Chain A
Amino acid sequence: MANIKLKDNIGESSLWYDEWVSDQSKSLPQGQPADEKEKFKFIGQYTKRIDGEKIVTGQARYTHDIKLRDMLIGKILRSPHAKAELFSVDLNTAKSLPGVKAALQVNQGKILYAGQQVAAVAAVDEKTAEKALEMIKVEYKPMPFVVTEEKAREEGAPQVHDERPNVEERRGYSRGDAEEGFKQADAVIERTYKTPIEIHHPTETHASIAMWQGKRLTIWDSTQAIHSVRDQLANALQIPAARIKVIKNYMGGGFGSKLGLNEHTVVAALLAREAKRPVKIMLSRQDNSLCVGNRPSSNQTYKGGVKKDGTLTALTLLNYTSGGIRGGDRASEPIIDVYKCPNVKVEEYNIYTNTGAARPTRAPGLVQGTFGLEGFIDELANEIGMDPLELRKKNYTTKNRGDTGIPYSSKGLDKGYEIGAREIGWNRRNKVPGEGNGRIRQGIGMASGIWWGAGVPGTLADIKLHPDGSVEAICGTQDIGCGTRTHMAVVAADTLGLDPQDIIIKIGNSDYPWAPLSGGSLTTPSVAPAVRDAALKAAKRLQEMAASKLKVPAANIILQDKKLFDRDNPENALPFEEVMKDLPNETVFHGERKGLPIGYAYNTFGAHFVEVEVDTVTGKIEVIKVVAVHDSGRIINKQTAESQIVGGITQGLSTALFEQRIMDETIGRMVNPNLRDYKIATSMDIPEIVPLFVDIVDPLINILGTKGLGEPPRIPISGAIGNAVYNAIGVHIREIPMTPDKVLDALKEKEVGR
């Protein structure tokens, strides 16, 4: 009987990227810097996805679509109680049902949230498995629970974890002397901003298939992290990682909810071992709402001091965050880093509740913290009668930690401000928030954003050349929807003088060279430089081979348009395939994403400018236009990069206007665990979106000068919408989602205030 417990990191922040990257860097040699002037044929241009046809014809196979011979369907019984002791689990009746091939108890301890797994079965089909679940007899002793942050903070509230209080202090931050700073200010204000718990809701619910062949285990998994799943599964099952292979070809969204091993994957492996047949477990939409992560809430109180000329003298943040049975997200990154300010103090607290554990959700912590800080900056600007964009420019930084730390390797946010203001028509905004008339009020607002995105040193990729002229690029990364296959093809093709369609891409298999999980905007700045490194080595070999045939020095040989030729005499040329013929079978070139120079901060930046209309009768906010300007270094493929921006803005708009998990305090369960009651943005809610890049080649970050783009477009948007609404109606909605009831309440309060 298995008692499955994944790595316990209760209370830890999900923001590990910066520490991870800097740790890795120390042990690796630095790479060659990017050449700013280098011109490419495909990199930085628009290349259509090389696997587009598979996707639009329904041929792309997701884990959802995979069926193996003799495969069983696994189902998991989940606790209806938010907190309970498990007395007994009787599997005998379920096991006696014809067609049931395995049944397991998968929890022996305490139930800490409704939806936590209790037992599992594998049967010949879904209907039989569901029937078998009904036949499992479980005796629970229900216990007092608490499922909302407000209740969990109350004195005498039921304690979620035996070993820790419901409210627990996290690591804080401090520089200078905030109290002293407030004394120097001309204006000091304090405001509280709130964000709710969000659910990731990837379209493909989490799914795993486990198949044993002797001692070897193959897992097909809907995951953002094939290597992490392999390693964590090896640990959970106590078998060598080398005996496990994890495969993921296509995945229907993740947004952080698929960043590591899931409990149901372990269950699938155990059921498959017991039944001696492959087992597939596909979570339901409801399971997806309860058991595989969420974005923690925040309750951020900012206090800030500003001089009449816009100089920030002090900023403080007190934040309460809840990630259910796990710690929440740090919301303090923006206040610590984004604006020049000598005196900053941060205090943050986790609040535990009897609800499912948080997981990183696209831009963890930064979505929450940016909504808070960027709203607060606008309110500070209003306090001193200053243009909010001017206030941001006044406190611009070129070093991290609010200009007190180490220099950024590159930062194009100033250019982003300039381009964005021009594109949106910043001068059209209300000079005094809410100065317009009539039922429909227009407003324009903006917000800045910061993220990491340097990629992970040590990422590996191979280029394999075949004597028949075919070329493979191989990497154990995974495409989570960003177009990773196409990015790899673009980089390899540009280096070898081929077309992207000529490169055969092999990814999504943990037997391939190591690459990090796909999250945190890591993939492109990890994988693209590794592919480039391998392809440069392959190109060098081909140059040497061509040089002897063309009787010119290898350094003179150019690879372009499927030919190798003498730079001084382009007529002196050989077709690519002609040179390849002389290669031995399968020549492999290993590439690596090298280390980062120490002493610099590696960050990405963005600025969003938003135009809204607010209906003062219905309270409905309509976003009309969004201009998004991003500094993510050299863009590898604008075609897919623009989609990332469009997607980030759409999700951020959804966060700002619609999304929230709602808990029933009396029964301890989620009220809206589906896609109807948990409202997400639809095609009716989408504004005009203008995605733009400042296109700075980062001189230090890697051989291509490229940074990540996954998180950045998700970050400023909610705050920018909030600020545009403020500009339209003159009252700040400090809590998302900004639903019509909140808008109407705010308008009413404003009226009363007058």
Chain B
Amino acid sequence: MEKENKGNALTRRDFLKGFGTGALGAAVAPKLLAQEAESIQTKEGKIPVYSKKQITLTVNEKKISMIVEPHETLLDVLRDNLNLTGAKKICDRGECGGCTVLLDGKPVYSCMFLAIRADGAKITTVEGLAQKDKLHPVQQAFIDKDAYQCGFCTPGFVVSSVAFLNSNTNPNTEDIKKALSGNLCRCGNYFKIYQAVDQAAKQMRRP
């Protein structure tokens, strides 16, 4: 599955790199994010504090405004500010897909996506997939096929699967394997996950 990557926009990785290496940090960080507003004094000297920014997100169909710091990731904001802990921090560097959420319908690794960059976006997390009391067909299929063990990677797999099935309603097993290759499951239940996604695809094809 194509993970969202908006052209040349600054990613968290670039940002972190820049932040730590003086010149680049000074050049990139203020321009895109915020100006150096204040600093605090410690025994080690002055530490710069970059100014906070107000953003508005529509999360699981609810519009929310909040103030975030420029270094905060979408994952941290969802988990810490909004208490939506379905998305998990597993590798914290875009290797495992455990933090996958939908951003304007496309799957993104929320640990690699700065919150300020999501300003104005529509976010769907695993908590927002069920309609009232009815589970999303992908969620029901994961239960039916026992497509989880410890369940920690499951929210990421469920969200990735939903995104994939929204774009391909008639996948074969190879398509499913490729679509989920950006998510890791250490309990090793991939074989059951294919079956679940297959069941969900069939269900979603029904009128």
Whether a CB of chain A sits under 8 angstroms from the CB of B180 is: yes
A-B CB pair tally, cutoff 8 Å = 184
Which of the residues A48, A483, A646, A676 comes within 8 Å of B188, measured between beta carbons?
A646
A689–B191 alpha-carbon span in the complex (Å): 7
A501 within 8 A of B: no
- B88 adjacent to A64 (CB under 8 Å): yes
A647 touches B178 (CB 8 A): no
Q: How far is the CA of A252 from the CA of B91 in the complex (A)?
A: 13
B window 78-126: CB within 8 A of A:
79-80, 83-93, 95-96, 98, 125-126
B89:A64 contact, CB within 8 angstroms: yes
Question: Which partner residue on chain B sits nearest A642 by CB separation?
Answer: B146
A684 contacts B by Cβ under 8 Å: yes
Q: Which residues of A contact B144 (CB under 8 A)?
A: 48
Cα distance A642–B148 in the bound complex, in angstroms: 11
Q: Give the docked Cα–Cα distance between A681 and B186 (Å).
A: 8
B29 at the interface (CB under 8 A from A): no
Contact of A253 among B155, B178, B187, B193 (CB under 8 A): B187
B150 at the A/B interface (Cβ < 8 Å)?
Answer: yes
Check A58–B126 contact: CB distance below 8 A.
yes
Residue of A nearest to B80 (CB): A67
* Contact among A61, A98, A135, A203 for B90, CB-based, below 8 A: A203
**Does the CB pair A57–B139 fall under 8 Å?**
yes
Most A Cβ at <10 Å: residue of B80, B88, B180:
B88
Q: Which residues of B contact A93 (CB under 8 A)?
A: 42-44
Asked whether A285 lies within 8 Å of B178 as measured between CB atoms, the reply is no
The answer on a CB contact under 8 Å between B143 and A680 is no
Shortest C-beta distance, A623 to chain B (Å), equals 11
Do A674 and B93 form a contact, CB below 8 Å, given A49-B143, A58-B126? yes
A675 contacts B91, C-beta separation under 8 Å: yes
* Residue A447 lies at the interface, judged by CB distance under 8 Å to chain B: no
Inter-chain contact B190/A683, CB cutoff 8 Å: yes
Question: Is A56 a contact of B148 with CB atoms below 8 Å?
Answer: yes
Q: Is the CB of B153 closer than 8 A to any CB of chain A?
A: yes
> Is B191 a contact of A56 with CB atoms below 8 Å?
no
Find residues 644-672 in chain A having any chain B CB closer than 8 Å to their own CB. Answer: 644, 646-651, 654
A537 in contact (CB, < 8 A)? no
Task: Identify which of residues 675-691 in chain A touch chain B, using a CB-to-CB cut-off of 8 Å.
Answer: 675-676, 680-684, 686, 688-689
Interface residue from A57, A96, A203, A684 paired with B129 (Cβ < 8 Å): A57
> Within the assembled complex, what's the spacing in Å between the Cα atoms of A205 and B98?
12
Within 8 Å by CB of A131, from B47, B84, B192, lies B47
Tell me if B177 counts as interface (CB < 8 A to partner A): yes
CA distance A639 to B184 in the complex (A): 22
Question: Which residues in chain B, 40-93, are within 8 Å of chain A measured between CB atoms?
Answer: 40, 42-44, 47, 71, 79-80, 83-93
Q: Check B127 for interface membership: any CB of A closer than 8 A.
A: yes
- CA distance in complex: A61, B127 (Å): 13
Given contacts A643-B149, A684-B178, whether A58 and B95 have CB atoms under 8 Å apart is: no
Q: Do the beta carbons of B189 and A650 come within 8 Å of each other?
A: yes
Residues of A within 8 A of B150 (CB): 202-204, 250-253, 480-481
Q: Does A201 contact B (CB under 8 A)?
A: yes
A632 to B80, CA, bound (A): 43
Contacting B at CB under 8 A, from A618-649, are 639-640, 642-644, 646-649
Interchain CB contact under 8 A, A97 and B42: yes
The residues of A that contact B149 with a CB separation of less than 8 Å are: 253, 481-483, 643-644, 647
Task: Please give the number of chain A residues whose Cβ is less than 8 angstroms from any Cβ of chain B in the complex.
Answer: 61
Inside 8 A of A242's CB, which chain B residues have their CB?
none
| CB contact between B42 and one of A135, A481, A640, A643 (< 8 Å): that residue | A135
Docked Cα-Cα span, A250 to B92, in Å, equals 20
Name the B residues within 8 Å of A684 (CB-CB): 177-178, 181
A639–B139 alpha-carbon span in the complex (Å): 17
**A284 within 8 A of partner (CB):** yes
Contact among A58, A98, A135, A651 with B44 in the assembled complex (CB-CB below 8 Å): A135
Chain A residues with CB under 8 A of B84: 58
Does the CB pair A648–B188 fall under 8 Å? yes
Does A150 interact with chain B (Cβ within 8 Å)? no
Q: In B145-160, which residues have CB < 8 Å from any A CB?
A: 146, 148-155, 158
Q: Which residue of chain B has the shortest Cβ distance to A649 in the bound complex?
A: B188
CA distance A173 to B153 in the complex (A): 43
A626 to chain B, nearest CB (A): 9
What is the 8 Å Cβ interface bit string for chain A, positions 197-230, against chain B (1 contact, 0 not)? Answer: 0000111110000000000000000000000000
* A600 close to chain B: CB less than 8 A: no
**CB pair B42 A674 closer than 8 Å:** no
**Is A52 interfacial (CB 8 A cutoff)?**
yes
- Asked if B95 and A674 sit within 8 Å, CB to CB, the answer is yes
Which residues of B are found within 8 Å of A64, using beta-carbon distances? Answer: 85, 88-89, 152
Closest CB in chain A relative to B40 CB, distance in Å: 7
Nearest CB on B from A207, distance (A): 11
How far is it, in angstroms, between the C-alpha of A57 and the C-alpha of B132 when the chains are bound? 12
Q: Which residues of A contact B87 (CB under 8 A)?
A: 58
A324 to chain B, nearest CB (A): 21
| Cα distance, A639 to B135, chains bound together (Å) | 20
| Residues of chain B lying within 8 A (CB to CB) of residue A654 | 188
Contacts of B194 in A (CB 8 A): 683, 686
Q: Assuming the A-B contacts A135-B42, A285-B91, A689-B191, are A57 and B96 also in contact, with contact meaning beta carbons closer than 8 angstroms in the complex?
A: no
Per-position contact with B for A276-308: 1 when CB-CB < 8 Å, else 0?
A: 000000001100000000000000000000000
For A62, list chain B residues within 8 Å (CB): 85, 88, 152
Q: Find chain A residues with CB under 8 A from B184 CB.
A: 203, 675, 680, 682
Measured between C-beta atoms, what is the minimum distance from B202 to chain A in Å?
A: 18
Flag if A56 contacts B142 (CB, 8 Å): yes
**Residues on the B chain within 8 Å of A571, using CB:** none
Given contacts A52-B142, A131-B47, A203-B150, contact A58 B189 (CB under 8 A): no
Taking a contact as CB atoms under 8 Å apart, the answer to whether A55 and B187 are in contact is: no
| Residues B44 and A56 in contact, CB atoms below 8 Å apart | no
* Residue from B79, B85, B140 in contact with A61 in the complex, judged by beta carbons closer than 8 Å: B85
Residues of A within 8 A of B177 (CB): 683-684, 686
What are the residues of chain A within 8 A of B181 when measuring CB–CB?
A: 682-684
Q: A202 CA to B88 CA in the complex, in Å? A: 13
B59 CB → nearest A CB, Å: 13
Q: A57–B150 Cα gap in the complex (Å)?
A: 14
Known: A646-B189, A650-B189. A67 touches B83 (CB 8 A): yes
The answer on a CB contact under 8 Å between B95 and A56 is no
Report the nearest A residue to B40, measured CB to CB. Answer: A98
Q: Give the Cβ gap from A249 to chain B, nearest Cβ, in Å.
A: 11
Bound CA–CA A57/B134 (angstroms): 11
- A96 in contact with B152 given A49-B143, A56-B158 (CB within 8 Å): no
- Neighbouring B residues of A251 by C-beta, 8 Å: 150, 152
Contact B191 A203 (CB under 8 A): no
A481 proximity list for chain B (CB < 8 A): 148-151, 187
Closest to B93 in A: A674
State how many angstroms separate the Cβ of A120 from the closest Cβ of chain B.
Answer: 19
Q: Which of B91, B143, B158 contacts A48 (CB 8 A)?
A: B143
User: What residues of chain A lie closer than 8 Å to B16, measured between beta carbons?
Assistant: none
A60 at the interface (CB under 8 A from B): yes
Query: A688 contacts which chain B residues (CB < 8 A)?
Result: 191
Asked if A683 and B180 make an inter-chain contact with CB atoms under 8 angstroms apart, the answer reads: yes
Do the beta carbons of A55 and B188 come within 8 Å of each other? no
Partner of A650, one of B71, B89, B153, B188: B188
The distance in angstroms between the C-alpha atoms of A52 and B194, with both chains bound, is 17
CB<8 Å pairs between A and B, sample of 12: A48-B144, A57-B135, A59-B86, A60-B151, A93-B42, A203-B153, A285-B93, A643-B187, A646-B188, A681-B190, A683-B176, A686-B177
9 A-B pairs with the lowest CB-CB distances in the bound complex, closest first: A58-B86, A650-B188, A252-B152, A481-B150, A65-B85, A52-B143, A55-B151, A481-B149, A58-B126
Residues of B within 8 A of A (CB): 40, 42-44, 47, 71, 79-80, 83-93, 95-96, 98, 125-127, 129-130, 135, 139-140, 142-144, 146, 148-155, 158, 176-178, 180-181, 183-194
**Told that A93-B43, A251-B150 touch, could you supply 12 new A-B pairs with CB distance under 8 A?**
A56-B154, A56-B155, A57-B127, A203-B153, A204-B88, A255-B186, A481-B151, A650-B189, A654-B188, A676-B95, A683-B183, A686-B177
